[in-house]
Amino acid sequence: MVVSTTIVPQSNISGGFFMNIFVTGGTGNIGQYVTLALLERGHHVRLLTRTPDRIPAYQTMENVTVIKGNILELDVMEKALQGCDAVVHIALGWGNDPVEMLDHDTRVTAFLLDAAERAGVKNFVYTSSTAAMGPLRDGMDETDLRMPTDLYGSTKASSELYMLGFRQYYCRQGGYGEKVKLRRNIIRPGYTFSNPAVPGGASQSDERFKNIAEAIVNNQDLTLSRNDGTQFLSSRQIAQLYVKLVESDMDEEIFLALGKNFISWYDIACMAKEMTPGSTSKVIASDEEGHHALYGVGKMERVFGLAFDSGEDLKEHIAWNLERAQAAKEGKATHNVLHVW
C-alpha cells in the first residue's frame, strides 16, 4: 500500500534544499513528531509503517509517502530508500534473547547502512539510547565509554559501532576497498514522552504517569521519592535535534538528547494534584531531596543551540493522562496508544 504526493525540489527555510527522507518508526513515540517536524521544514517523508490504516491522517498529508512494511522486510526498505537523500532510523526491532536481538535490530541497522550507501543516500541518522552507555554516572556525556548492562543497551551500542566503523568496504580479507560517502550520525535519547501527535497516534507513556493520574482522579494518596526521576524530554522537543542533524553536513557525531533539568515523579504528582483542584489526594514525599546525577547535554547546545526544559510539555502530558484517567473512571472508552513490536 503506497500513498504518495510528489514535490518539486526547491530551497527551504534554511537555504538548503528539500529532501526525500526515508523514516523508520515514523509513527511511533518519537517518530510521529520527527515526521511532522520534517514535513514542516518542507521535506518529503517516505514513512515505513506496519499498520498504515491505524493512523489514516498520514495518508492524506502532503509530501508523505506511506509504505506498508516492517524493518524485517529488508527488500521493502531497500526499494523505499531509492532516490532518498537521507535516512532517519528510529524503529526498534525487539528480541527476547541475544540472537533475536541481533537479528531483529543490529542486523537491520547494518543492512540499512549498506543499502543507503549503495543507493547514494547522503545522510543517515540512527536512534540509539542512553542504555548503550550503561548506568548513569554523574556528568557522563558523549565521550564516556559504552558499558551496557542489558540486551537492549548492547544492541544499541553494537549498532553505534557499525555506524561509526562503516567508513569503507573491504575488497579482500584485510584489504581496504571503496570509501563510504554516507554521513552517519547518532542520537541517544533518554526518557522521551509524548501525547499522540495525530488522531490514532502513539504514546509511550510510562505506567507511572497513568498510575499517578488514576490516583489523583480517584482521590488516593501518593507517597513518592523526591530523588526518583530523570531529565525528561518530549518527543516534540527531540524532533528539533533530528531536523538539525539531518539538515547538517556533520559526520560520525553522537548527541545525547535529554532535558537539562532533573524532574522527579514526586514533582510530577504534585503537578497533577495542582491541575486537579477537586481531588482530595495527598502527595507525600518519602525522603529529603538529595544530589541528582545528571547527563551532560551541553553538546547539542554548543553545536545547534538546543537546550530543553520539558516543564510545559510535561504539564500537557500530565493533563492528557488525567483526561484518560477521568474517562476510565466514568466508564468511557479510550484510544489504545501503544504501538509495540
Closest-CA residue to 337 (of 212, 215, 192, 199)? 199
Mark whether 163 and 265 lie in a shared domain.
no
Separation of alpha carbons 28 and 206, rounded Å = 15
With 0-12 CB in 10 A as exposed, 13-18 as middle and 19+ as buried, what is 87? buried
- How many domains are there within the chain? 2
**Which helix (H) or strand (E) covers residue 257, if one does?**
strand 254-257
Beta strands 20-24 and 86-89 are: parallel
In a domain, 305, yes or no: no
- Does 242 reside within a domain? yes
The predicted pLDDT at position 5 comes to 34
Residues whose CB falls within 8 Å of the CB of residue 142, separated by 6 or more in sequence, listed in order: 188, 254, 255, 256, 299
Inside any domain, residue 42 = yes
Claim to verify: residue 249 and residue 218 sit in the same structural domain: no
Residue 104 placed within a domain: yes
Among residues 254, 212, 257, which one has the least CA distance to residue 30?
257
Give me the helices (H) in the chain, please: 31-40, 74-80, 98-101, 107-118, 151-165, 207-217, 235-246, 265-274, 298-304, 311-329
Give the range of the structural domain holding residue 134, as residue numbers without chain letter: 2-191+235-257
Indicate if 201 and 165 belong to the same structural domain. Answer: no
- The CATH code of the domain that includes 108 is 3.40.50.720
Q: CA-CA distances (angstroms) from residue 129 to 100, 176, 254?
A: 19, 31, 11
pLDDT value of residue 199: 86
Whether residue 15 is found in the same domain as residue 134: yes
Q: Say whether both 137 and 274 belong to one domain.
A: no
- Indicate whether 91 and 202 sit together in one domain: no
Task: Identify the sign of the CA torsion 67, 72, 78, 83.
Answer: positive
The structure's pTM equals: 0.92
User: Is 245 among the domain residues?
Assistant: yes
> In this predicted structure, what is the pLDDT of residue 1?
42
Whether 165 and 284 map to the same domain: the answer is: no
Task: Indicate whether 158 and 61 sit together in one domain.
Answer: yes
Is residue 304 one of the residues assigned to a domain?
no
C-alpha dist (Å) from residue 229 to 209, 292, 325:
12, 9, 22
Amino acid at 10: Q
Residue 111 lies in a domain: yes
pLDDT of residue 174: 74
Question: Is 88 within a domain?
Answer: yes
pLDDT of 339: 58
- Please enumerate in sequence order all residues whose Cβ is within 8 A of that of 95, keeping only pairs 6 or more positions apart, or say none: 101, 102, 103, 104, 105, 151, 155
Residues 244, 171, single domain; the answer is: yes
For residues 156 and 245, state if they share a domain: yes
C-alpha cell at 269: 504528582
pLDDT per position in the chain (341 positions), as tens? 443 433 333 445 445 689 999 999 999 999 999 999 999 999 999 999 988 887 888 889 999 999 999 999 999 999 999 999 999 999 999 999 999 999 999 999 999 999 999 999 999 999 999 999 999 999 999 999 999 999 999 999 999 999 999 999 988 777 888 899 999 999 999 999 999 999 888 787 789 999 999 999 999 999 999 999 999 999 999 999 999 999 999 999 999 999 999 999 999 999 999 999 999 999 999 999 999 999 999 999 999 999 999 999 999 999 999 999 999 999 998 877 765 54
Same-domain pairing of 81 and 202: no
66 and 47 in a common domain: yes
